[in-house]
Amino acid sequence: MSGYNEKNQKFNFKLAFKETWDLMKSVYPYLLLGAAIGAIIHGTVPTEWISSAFGKDAWWLIPLAAIIGVPLYIRLSSMIPISQILIAKGMALGPVMAMMISSAGASLPEVILLKSIFKKELVITFVLSVIVMSTISGFVFYLV
């Protein structure tokens, strides 16, 4: 192969480990902070309030639920039980789907991690695209 230089292509495990460790040390506090904030929000906001506030049949609740879903940090494994509880307590299906999709798509710890790697504009674009897609999905469930 032309241009291939085996000397430059050697993998340096020490350097890779050091770079990984340095990245983890710089990001880990933010990940813990984001997970703690998500846990506090998830644990303190009563589902009765959410279901009464989002149980109405208003279109604007779907984008609002998509925005609120981002900092909630709902794990994929807990999405189904949480959505079942919210629907059982009277929350409309469109806002439930928008909130679940946005919380799984762009959780607060994930956004913090992405912010440490990418430019702020890219992270904002990512979060906005998740909100838009979860809103569209919520409207699909709202109309069906």
- 44-96 pLDDT, tens digit per residue, is 767 677 767 777 778 899 999 999 888 877 766 677 777 877 777 778 899 98
CA distance 39 to 44: 8
Q: Look at residue 113 and tell me whether its pLDDT is greater than 80.
A: yes
Domain membership flag for residue 2: no
61 burial (CB, 10 Å; 0-12 / 13-18 / 19+) is buried
Structural domain includes residue 119: yes
For the chain, give the number of residues.
Answer: 144
Q: Within a domain: residue 1?
A: no
- Tell me what pLDDT residue 77 has: 66
- The answer as to whether 3 is a domain residue is no
Residue numbers of the domain that contains 38: 13-143
8 domain-assigned = no
Give residue 94's pLDDT: 92
CA distance 88 to 32: 32
Whether residue 79 is contained in a domain is answered as yes
Q: How many domains does one find in the chain? A: 1
DSSP class per residue in 6-67: TTTT---HHHHHHHHHHHHHHHHHHHHHHHHHHHHHHHHS-HHHHHHHH-S--TTHHHHHHH
Report yes or no on 68 lying in a domain: yes
78 within a domain of the structure (yes/no)? yes
